[in-house]
């Protein structure tokens, strides 16, 4: 990760350079003012242009993207951040019953939560956490995602708080880490960055750890905690300013949605979003902002490389096989659904035909009687007419 200082605003712009794309992550550091942040982003864009880089802003809040749209930038939604306001946090009542149940079960089983920084870990604890993380990564067909998701290396930060679920025997069963959110030099919130658990840990151990974190940070007087974003778990365009731009946004929306579906078997973005719903958070949209839609393909490649910088050829083939397998399963379910729809439509047509035949059968005798009556009346009229003519 690189950084660039905008001397005009006094802010620091964190960015990553991937395939010629300078990707700013979230927002400039040093201000919470959207207009000041936008000025810093625009200044950085000039800096990037002068070096032949393509500027882009990723995982940005809505306030910043709105400010940039006033300067001709466009944006598309690429995720949602789940935020829990701590002033309203409580596990009482039905809405967060699952969280309360997990915390009560953990207490019955003798689990405890230990809080510390990385420097405060014992050598054995650091070794266990590294082994836990490596085992978790080893189960995945692709390498650990970077960029917006934390790994073991990111734990070694004096401002990051680590929460561990420890069994009564002293074993580490699950780990979370919480990065600080600063305002005017003061920590006002925390962001969930690292989550790992052992396969044999109790069900609900992560719910217990996050619930315990919310309780702790509420007691510390913090304003909110973020459960981070679920990347590519939603895609809804915004800020279209012309028919052409709307078409470009619609195309990017479809691409992001398809990428999300294809990556779901590998990383479970939507499953992660579903997990976070248990905490009844607020959802805040996050955006990809860019100055020129022509550069979107290059920006897409840059983001892919930022997320998966260590992707090997073998892992790529593994991913392809998994994706193809999931596609075949989806195709099989879709074909089965269509067959069921066709069979149901056929049954409906048969039932309608039977009902029609029954209706015809019921009306036929009545129609025959009416026809006979009509014929009788006609014959009587003809007979009367002959008699009158004869007389």
Q: 260-309, pLDDT tens digit by residue? A: 555 555 555 566 777 888 899 998 988 999 999 888 878 877 877 776 65
pLDDT confidence bin for 338, thresholds 50/70/90: confident
pLDDT confidence bin for 325, thresholds 50/70/90: low
Terminal alpha carbon distance of the chain: 121
**Total-model pTM:** 0.67
pLDDT confidence bin for 108, thresholds 50/70/90: very high
pLDDT confidence bin for 25, thresholds 50/70/90: confident
Average pLDDT (194-214) is 92
Q: At 280, list the tokens.
A: 């009844």
SS3 350: helix
More confident residue, 250 or 24: 24
pLDDT confidence bin for 237, thresholds 50/70/90: very low
In a domain, 125, yes or no: no
In a domain, 243, yes or no: no
* Average model confidence (pLDDT) across the chain: 80
Q: Which residues, 6+ apart, have CB-to-CB distance to 268 below 8 Å? A: none
CA dist 346 and 339 (Å) reads 10
- Structural domain count of the chain: 1
Numbers of helices and strands, H then E, in the chain: 9, 12
More confident residue, 346 or 39: 39
- CA torsion angle for 246, 252, 258, 259 (degrees, to 10)? -160
**What residues make up the domain containing 366?**
316-382
Average pLDDT (219-242) is 67
CA dist 19 and 66 (Å) reads 27
**pLDDT value at position 230?**
61
The answer, yes or no, to whether residue 311 has pLDDT greater than 60, is no
The answer, yes or no, to whether residue 209 has pLDDT greater than 80, is yes
The answer, yes or no, to whether residue 361 has pLDDT greater than 70, is no
In a domain, 377, yes or no: yes
**pLDDT value at position 240?**
40
In a domain, 141, yes or no: no
The answer, yes or no, to whether residue 47 has pLDDT greater than 80, is yes
**pLDDT value at position 376?**
57
Q: Sign (positive/negative) of CA torsion 148, 152, 153, 159?
A: positive
CA dist 17 and 123 (Å) reads 35
**CB-count burial class (<10 Å; 0-12, 13-18, 19+) for 307:** buried
More confident residue, 244 or 67: 67
The answer, yes or no, to whether residue 21 has pLDDT greater than 50, is yes
Buried b (16+ CB within 10 A) or exposed e, 202-238: bebbbbbbbbbbbbbbbeeebbbbbbbbbbbbbbebe
The answer, yes or no, to whether residue 315 has pLDDT greater than 70, is no
Average pLDDT (87-103) is 92
Query: Angle at CA 272, nearest 5°, toward 267 and 273?
Result: 130
Average pLDDT (382-386) is 58
**CB-count burial class (<10 Å; 0-12, 13-18, 19+) for 312:** exposed
In a domain, 130, yes or no: no
The answer to whether 113 touches 290, Cβ cutoff 8 Å, is no
Buried b (16+ CB within 10 A) or exposed e, 268-279: ebbebbebbebb
The percentage of the chain sitting over the pLDDT mark of 70, rounded to a whole number, equals: 71
**pLDDT value at position 183?**
84
pLDDT confidence bin for 236, thresholds 50/70/90: very low
């Amino acid at each position: 990760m690189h950084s660039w200082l905008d001397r005009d605003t006094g802010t620091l712009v964190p960015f990553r350079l991937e395939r010629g794309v300078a990707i700013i992550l979230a927002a400039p550091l040093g201000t919470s003012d959207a207009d000041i942040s936008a000025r810093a982003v625009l200044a950085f864009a000039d800096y990037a242009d002068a070096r032949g880089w393509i500027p882009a802003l990723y995982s940005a809040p809505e306030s910043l993207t709105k400010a940039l749209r006033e300067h001709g930038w466009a944006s598309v939604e690429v995720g949602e951040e789940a935020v829990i306001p701590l002033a309203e946090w409580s596990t009482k009542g039905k809405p967060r019953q699952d969280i309360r149940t997990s915390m009560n079960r953990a207490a019955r089983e003798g689990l405890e939560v230990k809080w510390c920084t990385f420097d405060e870990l014992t050598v054995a604890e650091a070794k266990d956490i590294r082994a836990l993380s490596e085992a978790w990564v080893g189960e995945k067909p692709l390498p650990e995602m970077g960029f917006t998701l934390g790994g073991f290396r990111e734990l070694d930060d004096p401002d990051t708080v680590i929460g561990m679920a420890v069994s009564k025997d002293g074993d580490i069963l699950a780990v979370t880490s919480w990065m600080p959110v600063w305002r005017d030099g003061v920590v006002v919130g925390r962001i969930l960055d690292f989550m790992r658990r052992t396969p044999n840990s109790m069900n609900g151990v992560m719910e217990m750890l996050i619930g315990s974190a919310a309780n702790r940070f509420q007691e510390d007087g913090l304003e909110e905690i973020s459960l981070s974003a679920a990347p590519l778990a939603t895609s809804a365009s915004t800020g279209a300013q012309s028919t052409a731009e709307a078409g470009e946004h619609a195309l990017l929306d479809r691409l992001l949605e398809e990428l999300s579906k294809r990556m779901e078997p590998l990383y479970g973005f939507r499953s992660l979003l579903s997990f976070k719903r248990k905490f009844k958070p607020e959802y805040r949209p996050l955006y990809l902002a860019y100055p020129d839609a022509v550069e979107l393909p290059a920006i897409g490649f840059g983001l892919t490389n930022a997320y998966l910088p260590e992707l090997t050829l073998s892992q790529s083939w593994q991913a392809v096989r998994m994706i193809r397998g999931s596609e075949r399963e989806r195709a099989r379910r879709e074909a089965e659904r269509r067959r069921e729809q066709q069979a149901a439509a056929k049954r409906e047509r048969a039932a309608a035909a039977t009902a029609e035949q029954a209706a015809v059968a019921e009306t036929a005798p009545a129609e025959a009687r009416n026809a006979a009556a009509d014929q009788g009346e006609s014959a009587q009229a003809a007979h009367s007419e002959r008699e009158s003519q004869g007389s």
